[in-house]
Amino acid sequence: MGTIRLTAAQALVRYLSAQLTESGEPFIAGVWAIFGHGNVAGLGEALYASRDAIPTYRGHNEQTMAHTAIAYAKQMKRQRAMAVTSSIGPGATNMVTAAALAHANRIPVLIIPGDIFATRGPDPVLQQVEDWSDGTVSANDCFRPVSRYYDRISRPEHLLTALPRAFSTMLDPATCGPVTLAFCQDTQAEAYDYPEAFFKPKVWKMRRIAPDANELETVAEAVKQAERPVIVAGGGVHYSDAATELQAFVEKHNIPIAETQAGKSALAWDHPMNFGPVGVTGSDSANTLCNQGDVVLGVGTRLQDFTTGSWSLFQNPERTLASLNVQAYDAVKHGALPLNADARVGLKALSDALGDYRAPDPDAALKETWFGNVDPLTAAPSDTNALPTDMQVVGAVQRSSGDDTIVMGAAGTMPGELHKLWKAPRPGSYHMEYGFSCMGYEIAGAIGIKMAEPDRDVIAMVGDGSYMMANSELATAAMMGIKITVVITDNRGFGCINRLQKGTGGAEFNNLLDTAYHVNPSAIDFAGHTRAMGAESVHVGSISELETALETAKSASGPFVAVIDTDPYPSTEFGGSWWEVAVPEVSERSEVQDARKNYEKGLAARNAT
Select from 236, 267, 247, 427 the least CA-distant residue to 351: 247
Considering the domain boundaries, does residue 311 fall inside one?
A: yes
pLDDT single digits (tens) 200-210: 999 999 899 99
Query: What is the share, in percent, of the chain residues with pLDDT greater than 90?
Result: 98
Average pLDDT over residues 351-358: 98
Cα dihedral 75, 76, 79, 82 sign: negative
Cα dihedral 396, 400, 402, 404 sign: negative
What end-to-end distance do the CA atoms of the chain give, in Å? Answer: 65
pLDDT single digits (tens) 190-239: 999 999 999 999 999 989 999 999 999 999 999 999 999 999 999 999 99
Considering the domain boundaries, does residue 171 fall inside one?
A: yes
Are residues 295 and 268 in contact, defined by beta-carbon separation less than 8 angstroms? no
Are residues 88 and 113 in contact, defined by beta-carbon separation less than 8 angstroms? yes
- Rounded CA-CA distance 607/292 in Å is 17
Q: Say whether pLDDT at 155 is over 80.
A: yes
Q: Which of 150, 174, 203 is the last residue of a domain?
A: 203
**Together in a domain, 116 and 152:** yes
> What residue spans of 485-586 are helical by DSSP H?
495-503, 526-532, 543-553
**Together in a domain, 74 and 174:** yes
pLDDT single digits (tens) 303-313: 999 999 999 99
Return the pLDDT at 1. 74
**Together in a domain, 239 and 127:** no
Range(s) of the domain holding residue 263: 213-366
Return the pLDDT at 488. 98
Q: Please report, as a single letter, which amino acid is at residue 70.
A: I
- Those residues whose C-beta lies under 8 Å from the C-beta of residue 323, and which sit 6 or more positions away, are 297, 298, 301, 303, 330, 331, 332, 333, 336, 337, 338, 339
Considering the domain boundaries, does residue 383 fall inside one?
A: yes
**Together in a domain, 461 and 323:** no
- Rounded CA-CA distance 365/190 in Å is 69
DSSP state of 26: B
Considering the domain boundaries, does residue 591 fall inside one?
A: no
Average pLDDT over residues 330-356: 97
Considering the domain boundaries, does residue 572 fall inside one?
A: no
397: left (phi over 0), alpha (psi -120 to 50) or beta: alpha
Return the pLDDT at 271. 98
Count of domains observed in the chain: 3
**Together in a domain, 316 and 395:** no
Strand order in 28-33's β-sheet?
A: 56-58, 28-33, 81-86, 109-115, 178-184, 149-153
Q: Residue 21 belongs to a domain with what CATH number? A: 3.40.50.970
- Those residues whose C-beta lies under 8 Å from the C-beta of residue 295, and which sit 6 or more positions away, are 222, 223, 225, 226, 228, 229, 230, 319, 320, 322
Q: Which of 203, 238, 256 is the last residue of a domain?
A: 203
**Together in a domain, 62 and 161:** yes
Q: Say whether pLDDT at 609 is over 80.
A: no
**Together in a domain, 222 and 108:** no
User: Which pLDDT band, with edges at 50, 70 and 90, does 159 fall under?
Assistant: very high
- Rounded CA-CA distance 110/268 in Å is 33
**Together in a domain, 170 and 76:** yes
pTM beyond 0.95: the answer is yes
Return the pLDDT at 383. 78
pLDDT single digits (tens) 357-415: 999 999 999 999 999 999 999 999 987 788 999 999 999 999 999 999 999 999 999 99
Average pLDDT over residues 163-185: 97
Q: Which of 343, 366, 389 is the last residue of a domain?
A: 366
**Together in a domain, 240 and 96:** no
Return the pLDDT at 385. 80
Q: What is the mean pLDDT of the chain?
A: 97
- Those residues whose C-beta lies under 8 Å from the C-beta of residue 195, and which sit 6 or more positions away, are 1, 2, 3, 160
User: Which pLDDT band, with edges at 50, 70 and 90, does 117 fall under?
Assistant: very high
Helix-then-strand count for the chain, H and E: 24, 22
User: Which pLDDT band, with edges at 50, 70 and 90, does 32 fall under?
Assistant: very high
Cross-strand pairs, 458: 406
Q: How far is CA 300 from CA 208, 329, 378, in A?
A: 13, 12, 30
Q: Rg of the chain's alpha carbons, rounded to an integer?
A: 25
Q: How far is CA 406 from CA 260, 318, 344, 571, in A?
A: 17, 39, 23, 23
Element (H, E) at 235: helix 235-239
What 3-state DSSP class applies to 328? helix
**Together in a domain, 343 and 397:** no
Are residues 474 and 530 in contact, defined by beta-carbon separation less than 8 angstroms? yes
Considering the domain boundaries, does residue 217 fall inside one?
A: yes
Q: Residue 279 belongs to a domain with what CATH number? A: 3.40.50.1220
Work out whether strand 457-463 and strand 405-409 pair parallel, antiparallel, or are unpaired.
Answer: parallel
DSSP state of 539: E
**Together in a domain, 239 and 90:** no
CA 601 to centroid of chain Cα atoms: 32
**Together in a domain, 403 and 339:** no
Q: How many CA atoms lie within 13 A of 254 on its CB side?
A: 14
Considering the domain boundaries, does residue 570 fall inside one?
A: no
Considering the domain boundaries, does residue 241 fall inside one?
A: yes
pLDDT single digits (tens) 424-477: 999 999 999 999 999 999 999 999 999 999 999 999 999 999 999 999 999 999
pLDDT single digits (tens) 502-515: 999 999 999 999 99
